[in-house]
Each structure stands twice: as C-alpha cells, then as structure tokens.
Amino acid sequence: TSPQLDCAGRILRLDRARVMGIVNVTPDSFSDGGAHDTTEAAVAHGLKLVEEGADLLDIGGESTRPGAAPVSVEEELRRVIPVIEQLAARTQVPISIDTFKPEVMRAAVAAGAGMINDIYGLRQEGALDAAAATGVPVVLMHMQGEPGHMQADPHYDDVVAEVHGFLVQRLFAAEMAGIAKKNLLIDLGFGFGKTTAHNMTLLARSERFLELGVPMLAGLSRKRSLGELTGRDTPSERVAASVAAHLIAVQRGARIVRVHDVAATVDALKIWQAVEAVPTPRADA
Ligand SMILES: Nc1nc2[nH]c(SCCc3ccc(S(N)(=O)=O)cc3)nc2c(=O)[nH]1
C-alpha cells in the first residue's frame, strides 16, 4: 500500500510528488479589497489552479511574510470560511487551511478543509488539541522567531541539526496530543528565520529529514532567497527559479511542493516522473 493521506475523506496519494496550489485570501492580494469580490476572486483563482493540475489547495487568510500585519480571528474567519466552503463544493481536491489559530483550524475543517498547514508547528495555545480534534493531517513547519522579526538577523550554530531537533520535538508533541503519526508531515520552513545560505543548506540536505518517517512539504515559491540568487527583484519574475528549486526539493525527498505557479511546476514534475519511471538496470544484466 503506497503512502497516502486521508484528508477528511479526500485521499491524497503520495506515490509521486504532489502540487499544492497557493490561494491567498488577503484583500491586498486582490484589486478591490471588497469582501464579496475577495471571496469570488479567491475561489476563481483556486478553480484555475485545479484546472492547471493542482493536487490540493492551501487557503491562507493572514499573510505571514516578514513584517506582515497580524489579522484577528474574526477577520481571518470572514476571509477563509466562504472560500473553503465554495472550493470544497466545487472541486474534488483536498483543501488545506494555512493557519496557526486553533479556532480557525476547527472552523475551517468544519467548513470542508481536509488538512491543517501550521507555520508555528502547533505551538500556539490550544493548537495541539484543536488539530487533534479535527482528525485531519497536519503540516508541522519550522520557524525561528516570529514573522515580524524573523528575517532581522537569523543565526544558527548548525541549521540542519537545529531544524531537525525542532521537528523531532514537534512530532513528539503532536503524537502525545493524540495525532496519529500517519497524519503528520514536516516542512523545513524556507524563508522563516533563515538567510539564503541557511535555505540552500537545508535544501541541499533535505534527505537528512526523511529519517523522521513522515512526508516532507517544501515551500520556496517566489521567495526572497530565489530573488537574491537570480537578481529577480519582483516575485512574479521568480517562476523559473521556483520551478528549479521545487524540482530539486522533490529529488531530495519532498513529497508535496507549495507553489504559486502550478502549471509550470506540474510540467517540470512530469519530466522528473518520466525519469523516475525508468527501471534501474539489474546488477547481472
Ligand atoms: N507549510 C508551509 N506553509 C507556508 N506558508 C507560507 S506563506 C509565505 C510567507 C513568506 C513569504 C516570503 C518569505 S521571504 N522573505 O523568504 O521571501 C518568507 C515567508 N510559506 C510556507 C511554507 O514554506 N511552508
């Protein structure tokens, strides 16, 4: 039986790398800023990403980019719940909720979400119990510091060892809270309290994390490190770099990649899958 995730009834097979499409429901990411238009635009975007080949969607109502302003529980719910309800009704793919707030986790799963993606790794008060109560798979991500200042001056004695130790501790905490190991995933948290050097070290040594025995998610899409390495100052100019980074992440063990550019990533992974399908020559052949 090849690995798979049961996302509230929607099965996500992990026999090959899967593409998670990003749907930001933040007024500043859509022209008008009006509530209805924001919902409508976010739903349309999610449908477009599924058309492009997304295997699942990640719905986020609060930007956690460095320096972003916090959003209240009420406001975050107002943004994401209508989008989750509509997308769950209009597509068959699993819907992930990108939140660290326990109340939003519970409401999102009640509204049709089948996965929780928590950049704080369930460290907020009440998050472990909320996630356990939903019964859906959970992504535990590493972050050093908080979004407000995490990129000020990130420092590690040994970034791989420290990120590994953090994820071991979060996996333990999640299992102690009653979350089955088969429902746990990890994420190295590219760009969350890391310099470009830290990010590239983690990407280069991703395979080290497979020993944790859970699927790994990678999210480098359009991030600053890719801009620094290519000189592309605008996120939308970082598509080629993002596709390259996620192909490398998959080659080094990632099972899910979280991307803005679904069509391009799907094409790149098709080439990887064609190469992976070539049988290894037998030793005595
Ligand atoms: N599991 C998971 N969830 C995620 N949610 C986000 S939102 C991106 C926030 C951001 C934007 C830009 C930079 S930067 N300064 O590196 O360009 C950092 C963080 N990302 C991830 C990720 O990776 N995994």
Q: For 131-197, give the DSSP string.
A: HHHH-S-EEEE--SS-TTTTTSS---SSHHHHHHHHHHHHHHHHHHTT--GGGEEEE--TTSS--HH
Q: Break the chain down into helix, strand, coil percent, rounded to 5.
A: 45, 15, 40
Question: Residue 82, SS3?
Answer: helix
Contact 141, 215 (CB under 8 A): no
For residue 67, pLDDT over 90 is answered with no
Question: Residue 34, SS3?
Answer: coil
- What pLDDT is stored for residue 68 in this prediction? 85
ipTM above 0.95, yes or no: yes
- What pLDDT is stored for residue 29 in this prediction? 57
* 2 sits in which H/E element: none
Residue 62 beta carbon below 6 angstroms from any ligand 1 atom: no
For residue 227, pLDDT over 60 is answered with yes
Give the Cα separation of 150 and 119 in Å (integer).
Answer: 13
Nearest CA to ligand 1 atom 8: 65
pLDDT classification of 272: cutoffs 50, 70, 90: very high
Ramachandran angles phi, psi of 130, nearest 5°: -60, -45
- What pLDDT is stored for residue 1 in this prediction? 60
For residue 32, pLDDT over 80 is answered with no
Give the Cα separation of 85 and 66 in Å (integer).
Answer: 29
Contact 216, 254 (CB under 8 A): yes
Give the Cα separation of 218 and 285 in Å (integer).
Answer: 37
Lookup result for tokens 């395979």: 207
pLDDT classification of 31: cutoffs 50, 70, 90: very low
pLDDT classification of 106: cutoffs 50, 70, 90: very high
Give the Cα separation of 253 and 24 in Å (integer).
Answer: 26
Query: 175-213 burial, b if ≥16 CB within 10 A, otherwise e?
Result: eebebeeebbbbbbbbbbbbbbebbbbbbebbeebeebe
For residue 250, pLDDT over 90 is answered with yes
Residue 223 beta carbon below 6 angstroms from any ligand 1 atom: yes
Long-range contacts from 264-267, C-beta under 8 angstroms, 24+ separation = 264/239, 265/19, 266/19, 266/52, 266/53, 266/54
Q: Which atom of ligand 1 is nearest to the CA of 199?
A: 16
Pocket test of ligand 1: the residue of 18, 59, 65 to mutate, having most ligand atoms within 8 Å of its CB, is: 65
Q: Find, among 251, 172, 250, 242, the residue nearest to 217 by Cα.
A: 250
Contact 199, 190 (CB under 8 A): yes
Range of weakest confidence among 64-73, 97-106, 216-225: 64-73
* 54 sits in which H/E element: none
Query: 234-255 burial, b if ≥16 CB within 10 A, otherwise e?
Result: ebeebbebbbbbbbbbbebbbb
280 CA to middle of ligand 1, Å?
36
Residue 173 burial by CB count (10 A; 0-12/13-18/19+): exposed, middle or buried? middle
Contact 272, 34 (CB under 8 A): no
- What pLDDT is stored for residue 26 in this prediction? 85
Question: Residue 265, SS3?
Answer: helix
Read off the pLDDT of residues 188-207 as tens digits, 9 standing for 90 and up. Answer: 999 999 999 999 999 999 99
258 is catalytic: yes
pLDDT classification of 27: cutoffs 50, 70, 90: confident
Nearest CA to ligand 1 atom 19: 65
For residue 278, pLDDT over 70 is answered with yes
Average per-residue pLDDT for the chain: 96
**Average pLDDT in the 79-98 region?**
98
